[in-house]
Amino acid sequence: MTTHSEEHKTHILPLSLYLNVGAALLTLTVLTVVVARMDLGVWNAILAMVIAVSKASLVALFFMHLKYDNKLYAVVFVGSLAFLGLFIILSMADTETRGDLDPIRENPIVREAIIYRDSTRFTNGHETSELDTAGAATDSADVVSDSTATHSTDSQTPDGH
Amino acid sequence: MSHDSTAALSYLQEPKGLKSWLLTVDHKRIGIMYLCAIMFFFFVGGALAVILRTELLRPERILMDADTYNQFFTLHGAIMIFLFIIPSIPAALGNFLLPLMVGAKDVAFPRLNLASWYVYVFGALFCLYSIISGAVDTGWTFYAPYSTTTSTSVISMTLGVFILGFSSIFTGLNFIVTIHKLRMPGMTWFKMPLMVWGLYATAIIQVLATPVLAITLVLLIMERLMGVGIFDPAMGGDPVLFQHFFWFYSHPAVYIMILPGMGIISEVISTFSHRKIFGYKAIAYSSLGIAFVSFLVWGHHMFTSGQSEIAAMIFSFLTFFVGIPSGIKVFNWVTTLYKGSISLETPMIYALMFLFLFMIGGFTGIMLGALALDVHLHDTYFVVAHFHYVMMGGTVMAFLAGIHYWWPKMFGKMYSERWAKVVAVIIFVGFNMTFFTQFILGAKGMPRRYYTYLDQYQPLHGFSSVGAWVLGAGFMIMAVYFIASFWSKRKVGDNPWGALTAEWETSSPPPQHNFLTDPVFKHGPYDYDKIAVVGDYYKQSGGTKMAEKI
């Protein structure tokens, strides 16, 4: 393959190949729409991702000539994606499993933390007014707005014991 | 051009003039410019450290108030990490040496190389500006939510670091292409010096990880300027996410700092043991192994951050893998020493210090990687001592080994070996006084980054501060003997230490295009079992003894 690519510095592919790949991409797009209309449970997301990855691979391999270039470029390309995947997967190992073992960890950031009661930093009207009231009315942790109040009460309970 | 290497003018002599330096594309001159810049910042960061330690001599106020103290330790960390240690070995020594070691005329993209220096200076100016305009007090890690709320100049500092990242990426990219494309004929991958392997592994991390730091800092700036809310729980964000982003770069960055240092140690130990390096391939592969594993362990900085237990367990488990490639290297270095003809010149003394101190740093790292123990030791002086043992005991000692080893090659001058050895001892003593004490402080529960402390910690803090002064004094003497060496009349030969890597085959200092004739690979970088070279340094100082030893 290396010699092949060295011989053809500017690799010209037959038009038919481009058209075939284009047709494959269109077919896959139709397939995406079809699959999206069916209820397959968790398989919906998996299938959608598989189709998306296949389409991206076709573009990278043929339209971007990765298949005909030095293999090192393919390694670099796939490698960078792999590291992105690594970053997301390992971060999600944290964010998706919080509270699995210890419920207090589900919402480690409670809004009663002093730093979030400092109203000066919120500039958008809604937040400012609520937090201003909270800050001005009392220092108590109980006065917090919306749904986080529930979480924080939950997470406070074990502390109390 | 004459083929007599002594007749050729060196890169220091031609072309002349300030402009020829500022617009140079010569990797050696760029390396020297980097060296000057990083030594300036090492001095600034070091001065900050000595002032901090002086403040910590007693629990009450001595030099500054608590807010200034916060700014000082942040600046010490940020300057040392981003302006000194990350560019220290790759950009200064690596730039100078890599093309020489692979027998090339220059790096693959000389103009990009010069651009990287200017980008570095530009980024550094931003950081300096931030000091004037209300120095940042977040710690060098810029953790949200504090960094998004403090009134200090977080934006100019992070923008500076953002710009510095580009300089790092340029250098990494340049090195990767240089190593792939510009090796001299006959130098296959496994005939490269191990320093080159170290720089290669470093360059991969620089290119892969630094963009994530850039993304993180841009998000932080957006958070401050526009309140996008990605790290703000009140808007559905997550401050722990900042730590994920930050450490995905900054943990591999620790290996950007240490890997080229390990490369230096491989060179120095082999040269001064006059023995073929043991386990060449194992050392080469372990560099790549460390580079890979470095991307899997960032969560060990976050065990007490609110990260889930499952993630903490995964990261703790993965962290122990770092010990394997590091252990492979250390055992191979020690085995190289075994039955070698060891000569204790200054570079070798620093290399041995590296072995000793890096082991302590490494083992305490494994301790901190253990989940239960980390809960106790997290954010104490134990952590401070650990990373100073790795970064200073490891990287800085390796850097010092390297700078003493290649100084004659870089400038054609020899420093005073006697003074250098004295200073090595002073630094070793000062370093251990300062930082070993901090292991004890930390284990006793002294939290890091605190302005004051309970009286019971005073004796240890006092001892640590005195150690810092000893350390500072050592570096000042070092600066004097290095500068004094420029007036030295003593001639340095092309190969003072009798080493076999390619950079010693050209003159000291090298001519503008490195080699007068195109170099061809003749022997391996560590073929001490086949070739005996007596270094010019030994020839001058009773070389017969060394010749007999070899």
CB B356 within 8 A of CB B431: no
Residue B294 one-letter amino acid = S
- CA A30 – CA B64 distance, rounded (Å): 69
Task: Give the angle subtended at the CA of B173 by the CAs of B172 and B178, to the nearest 5°.
Answer: 100
Which is more confidently placed, A122 or B353? B353
Cis preceding-peptide flag for A158 (omega within 30 of 0)? no
Output the pLDDT for position A109. Answer: 58
Q: Where are the domains of chain A?
A: 2-71, 104-160
How close B292 comes to chain A (CA, Å)?
10
pLDDT tens for B465-475 read 999 999 999 99
Output the pLDDT for position A133. Answer: 40
Q: Is A146 exposed, middle or buried (0-12, 13-18, 19+ CB in 10 A)?
A: exposed
Residue A100 confidence class, pLDDT cut points 50, 70, 90 = confident
Does B239 touch chain A if contact means CB atoms closer than 8 Å?
yes
SS3 labels along B251-303: HHHHHHHHHHHHHHHHHHHHHHHCCCCCCHHHHHHHHHHHHHHHHHCHHHHCC
Mean pLDDT of chain B: 92
Does B146 touch chain A if contact means CB atoms closer than 8 Å?
yes
- CA B536 – CA B494 distance, rounded (Å): 7
- Return the structure tokens found at B501: 């890597």
CB B21 within 8 A of CB B29: yes
Output the pLDDT for position A148. Answer: 41
CB contact under 8 A, A80 and B208: yes
In sequence order, the 6+-apart residues with CB closer than 8 A to the CB of A137 are A143
Output the pLDDT for position B217. Answer: 93
pLDDT tens for A18-31 read 999 999 999 999 99
Quick one: average pLDDT of A92-120? 69
pLDDT at position A149 over 50: no
Residue in chain B lying closest to A118 (CA):
B149
Per DSSP, helices labelled H in B56-182 are 66-78, 86-87, 95-102, 110-132, 146-149, 154-181
Residue B393 one-letter amino acid = G
CB contact under 8 A, A108 and B149: no
pLDDT tens for B410-451 read 999 999 999 999 999 999 999 999 999 999 999 999 999 999
Quick one: average pLDDT of B142-169? 91
**Residue B189 CB coordination number (10 Å):** 12
Q: In degrees rounded to 5, what are phi and psi of residue B140? A: -65, -10
- Return the structure tokens found at A10: 């500017």
Output the pLDDT for position A9. Answer: 58
- CA A117 – CA A141 distance, rounded (Å): 9
Query: Quick one: which of B256, B134, B193 has its CA closest to B505?
Result: B193
Q: Where are the domains of chain B?
A: 24-549
Residue B491 confidence class, pLDDT cut points 50, 70, 90 = confident
Output the pLDDT for position A5. Answer: 45
Q: Report in angstroms the alpha-carbon separations of B282 from B325, B416, B506.
A: 9, 36, 29
Query: Quick one: which of B98, B105, B103, B78 has its CA closest to B34?
Result: B98
Among the ranges given (A69-78, B137-146, B429-438, B480-489), the one the predictor scored with the smallest mean pLDDT: A69-78
Note which residues in 78-117 of chain A have CB less than 8 A from chain B.
Answer: 79-80, 83, 86-87, 90-91, 93-102, 105, 108-109, 111, 115-116
pLDDT at position A127 over 70: no
Class of the CATH-defined domain B24-549: mainly alpha
- Return the structure tokens found at B7: 């007749």
pLDDT at position A120 over 80: no
How close A67 comes to chain B (CA, Å)?
21
Prediction ipTM score: 0.84
